[in-house]
Amino acid sequence: MTSRELFALAAVGLPALVAATIALVPRRFVVAVAVAVAVPVSVPSIALSAWILHAPAKPSMSRWLVVDAPGGLLLAVIAVVGLASAFASRAYLAGVPAPRREKTYFATLYAFWAILLAVPLVGNLAGAWLLVEATTAASALLVGFSGRPRALEAGWKYLILTSLGLGVALLGIVLLAAGTPGGGLGALSWHALGSYSAGADRALVAYLLLLAGLAAKIGWAPVHNWLPDAHSEAPPPVSALLSAALLPAVLLIAWRSEHALAPVVGARTAQTVLISFGLVSLAVAVPFLWRALPWKRLLAYSSLEHMGVIALGIGFATPLALAGVAVHIAAHAVAKALGFYAATPLIGHEPRAAEHAVTGVARTAPVLGAAMGISLGALSGLPPSPLFVSEVLIVAGGFEAGRAWAAAAAVLLLALGFLGLAHNLLETTAGAARDDRADAGGLRGLAVLTAVSVLLLLGLVLAAVWLPGTDLVAGLL
Amino acid sequence: MSGALAWTLVGLGLAVIVVRRRSIAVALVTGQALVLVGVALNDATTRNDVLAAGALALRAVTLAALFFVLVARTRELRPVRARVSPLMRAGAAVALALALTWLVPKIGLSSRDAERSVLTLVAFGVASVALRRATIFQVLGIVLVENALALAALELPGGASLAIELGVALDLMLVALVAAAFHERIFAEFGAGDTAALRTLRD
């Protein structure tokens, strides 16, 4: 076993071990232990990610394991968001009325985290499908964790719609296996998919089924119906993992599939499918970004927008666009996770925020308002947000790729989305404030997360300027 | 695969769309899975093929046990009525199946009958999820789709992969277990496993 394989095993095995053994910890220590072990659990993933991104031109690939630049990027994102979610869970559980469920919560959260960490590392389309399906089971339980009727509704929709979507994706995978020499599992490794030999038309049908199925899990329009419900009803640390880690992790599978099948179905055709999903997702998201929605639902529709932007970048597939994609995935994760973590004290501050839009939070809780403002400002693409720079890179990449119409449509939709979110940013932070709000608790932890997020976002602005033309971008191609 | 066998699988699938009682639908889906086990054993040439058939059988029996227990634990005072009549449901499901088989070109399975059966069962699964209100029928729709995919895997020119069969069976059982947990919670909360009660989240 190589050292990279050992690190990969540790990255996935440690959170799985915690999930399996957390039940043995005495109940009164569960939260403290689960939060404390999150740091050592995330170390192998972050170390492996740093290793990969330090030498992105040397990917390694086997039937089961792939260690490359896109995987390294996602691994870092999932590790950091998982770590932050474990920390943020303490504040969430402190406010949960039903006691004695900490063990269930953390066992499921760590299982979900372990499966997520395995997704970018798996070297096989069938293995990736199995892992993505397994994330559905673990995360659906977390979405319905509160047991409230709305949470049950969201969890049920999520479970049924994504399982059905993944069934369609599996049909595409079976078709690919049928046309690839050798058949079976070996035929579905990422490097073997390019040897599909049953004709471009059949490959295109399989690719469309695969992407249509994965779209239901990524939350691309028009099969995104579960997304706003699940994101808004899940516990906030879980919403952060769903939006910042799960969606891009599944998107990576779509990206790898496009990359592997482009020689068979034609690069232009394969990329056009992604661009179409991207533009439709942006177009569907924009009207909702203009509305006064409950905080977490607004963030959910922003996820729809950003998954669309990432699809566009992957579809444009130029070095500029892919540099934008890398920054966009990381910056979206930081900003979105911060927004969801702010939801826990927000609901303590104003309970009706779970179901209604809130205004003027900065007037009554400045720290909370700052966290929400920084999150929404970054997500809207307000300069100097790294998401502004990444969107510029992606659009420039679109023009560079000769996709002027798609890039122009993206500019228009992004501008409209920005205006909607900017309006919401002003209203949420500086609008009229209600005078019946409670004191916001748990703000010390949020202040630390906000400070760390600001540093990460500023670092990503610098990265966005430095990234184009580097080996890392070459490793993404 | 013979035409009669393909028609049997399709007939069992269509019956799931039409029947009213949950227990009958569970029996139909289980019967369909057991027919697939028979096909798998009949076609088996290696030890791995037999093991893959075993995985399929284990999945069929486990899911049947789970669903029958679930039906027994959550007795409905009145059956959850779908908004669409049985005849309309069957018509919609057949129309979707015809559209799918017309739209999707040859996909490379060992016979055209098998290809049509796979696409038809996928269509029936989607129709069951879309047209039935009862939670158990929605989960059975997903199992129908998975049965279709198991058939497709069996009819691949190179045969099914043991690792994939085992993985898919495990994943499906996991999803069914989570769905069962949700069904019980929904039943406890609303007094029926009826998705009509789950329509409050809208923008």
The pLDDT tens digits of the residues spanning A166-182 come to 999 998 998 888 888 77
Chain A residues close to B174, C-beta within 8 Å: 133-134, 137
Confidence band, pLDDT 50/70/90 cuts, at residue B112: confident
CB contact at 8 A, A418 and A380: yes
Residue B203 within any structural domain of the chain: no
Q: Do B122 and A160 touch (CB under 8 A)?
A: no
Confidence band, pLDDT 50/70/90 cuts, at residue B192: confident
Beta-carbon pairs below 8 A across chains A and B: 140
Closest residue in chain A to residue B124, using alpha carbons only: A164
Q: Do B198 and A127 touch (CB under 8 A)?
A: no
Q: pLDDT at residue A438 above 80?
A: no
Q: Do B178 and A164 touch (CB under 8 A)?
A: no
Q: Do B201 and A198 touch (CB under 8 A)?
A: no
Listed range (A69-73, A287-291, B108-112) with the worst mean pLDDT: B108-112
- At residue A101, the pLDDT reads 85
Cα separation, A105 vs A88, in Å, equals 13
The complex scores an ipTM of 0.93
Q: How many other C-beta atoms are found inside a 10 Å radius of the C-beta of residue B154? A: 26
Q: Do A140 and B178 touch (CB under 8 A)?
A: yes
Residue B121 within any structural domain of the chain: yes
Q: Which DSSP helix (H) or strand (E) runs through A66? A: strand A66-67
In 3D space, the residue among B92, B83, B175, B84 whose CA is nearest the CA of residue B127 turns out to be: B92
Q: How many other C-beta atoms are found inside a 10 Å radius of the C-beta of residue B81? A: 13
Structurally, chain B folds into a number of domains equal to 1
Q: Which DSSP helix (H) or strand (E) runs through B202? A: none
Q: pLDDT at residue B160 above 90?
A: no
Cα separation, B176 vs A157, in Å, equals 14
Query: What is the DSSP-derived secondary structure letter of residue B82?
Result: P
Chain A residues close to B139, C-beta within 8 Å: 160
Maximal CA-CA distance, chain A: 69
- At residue B79, the pLDDT reads 76
Q: Do A141 and B178 touch (CB under 8 A)?
A: yes
Residue B115's φ and ψ, nearest 5 degrees, are -60, -45
- Cross-chain CB nearest to A152 (options B104, B148, B186): B186
CB contact at 8 A, B80 and B131: no
**Tokens 């002003």, residue located:** A426
* Tokens matching residue A183: 């058949």
Q: Do A183 and B157 touch (CB under 8 A)?
A: yes
More confident residue, A155 or A353: A155
Chain A residues close to B145, C-beta within 8 Å: 164, 167-168
Residue A124's φ and ψ, nearest 5 degrees, are -150, 135
CB contact at 8 A, B163 and A185: yes
In DSSP terms, A65 is beta-bridged to A122
Cα separation, A468 vs A472, in Å, equals 9
Tell me which of B59, B131, B164, B172 to substitute to probe the interface with A (most A C-beta atoms closer than 10 Å): B164
Give how far A93 is from chain B: nearest CA, Å.
21
Chain B residues close to A137, C-beta within 8 Å: 171, 174-175, 177-178
Q: Do A160 and B107 touch (CB under 8 A)?
A: no
Residue B91 within any structural domain of the chain: yes
Listed range (A44-58, A108-122, A364-378) with the worst mean pLDDT: A44-58
- At residue A98, the pLDDT reads 61
Listed range (A50-54, A131-135, A213-217, A299-303) with the worst mean pLDDT: A50-54
Cα separation, B166 vs B80, in Å, equals 34
Give how far A433 is from chain B: nearest CA, Å.
23
Q: Which DSSP helix (H) or strand (E) runs through A50? A: helix A30-54
Closest residue in chain B to residue A289, using alpha carbons only: B203
**Tokens 């500029």, residue located:** A320
Chain B residues close to A101, C-beta within 8 Å: none
Cα separation, A50 vs A76, in Å, equals 8
Cα separation, A84 vs A72, in Å, equals 18
Residue B168 within any structural domain of the chain: yes
Residue A35, exposed/middle/buried by CB under 10 A (0-12, 13-18, 19+)?
Answer: middle
Tell me which of B100, B132, B135, B171 to substitute to probe the interface with A (most A C-beta atoms closer than 10 Å): B171
Tell me which of A135, A163, A226, A229 to substitute to probe the interface with B (most B C-beta atoms closer than 10 Å): A163
Q: For A9-27, what is the mean pLDDT? A: 94
Closest residue in chain B to residue A64, using alpha carbons only: B163
Q: Do B175 and A137 touch (CB under 8 A)?
A: yes
- At residue B77, the pLDDT reads 77
Give how far A130 is from chain B: nearest CA, Å.
6
- At residue B159, the pLDDT reads 67
Domain that holds residue B61: 3-197
CB contact at 8 A, B13 and B89: no
Q: Do B122 and A168 touch (CB under 8 A)?
A: yes
Q: For B128-156, what is the mean pLDDT? A: 92
For B193, residues 6+ apart whose C-beta sits below 8 A from its C-beta are B74, B76, B80, B134, B135, B136, B183, B186, B187
**Tokens 């100097």, residue located:** A384
Residue B202 within any structural domain of the chain: no
Q: What is the pLDDT of residues A191-243, one digit of tens each?
A: 888 888 878 888 998 999 999 999 999 999 999 999 999 999 999 999 999 99
Q: Do B178 and A159 touch (CB under 8 A)?
A: yes
Q: Which amino acid is at A120?
A: P
CB contact at 8 A, A165 and A213: yes
Chain A residues close to B129, C-beta within 8 Å: 160, 164
Q: Do B158 and A184 touch (CB under 8 A)?
A: yes
Cα separation, A338 vs A232, in Å, equals 15
* Tokens matching residue A286: 């924009």
Q: What is the pLDDT of residues A235-255, one digit of tens each?
A: 999 999 999 999 999 999 999
Q: Which DSSP helix (H) or strand (E) runs through A403? A: none
Give how far B78 is from chain A: nearest CA, Å.
21
Alpha helices by DSSP H, A180-225: 200-218
Residue B194's φ and ψ, nearest 5 degrees, are -120, 120
Chain A residues close to B135, C-beta within 8 Å: 156
Tell me which of A174, A229, A302 to substitute to probe the interface with B (most B C-beta atoms closer than 10 Å): A174
- Cross-chain CB nearest to B201 (options A183, A198, A229): A229
Q: Do B164 and A202 touch (CB under 8 A)?
A: no
Give how far B66 is from chain A: nearest CA, Å.
16
* Tokens matching residue A311: 């699809």
Q: Do B107 and A183 touch (CB under 8 A)?
A: no
Mean pLDDT of chain A: 92
Kind of pairing, strands A60-61 and A66-67? antiparallel
Q: Do A177 and B156 touch (CB under 8 A)?
A: yes
In DSSP terms, B194 is beta-bridged to B134
Q: pLDDT at residue A70 above 70?
A: yes
- At residue B32, the pLDDT reads 96
For chain A, what are the domain ranges? 268-477
The pTM score is 0.94
3-class DSSP assignment, residue A224 = coil
Chain B residues close to A174, C-beta within 8 Å: 149, 152-153, 156
Cα separation, B128 vs B132, in Å, equals 6
Tell me which of B59, B107, B143 to substitute to probe the interface with A (most A C-beta atoms closer than 10 Å): B107
In DSSP terms, A67 is beta-bridged to A60
In DSSP terms, A122 is beta-bridged to A65
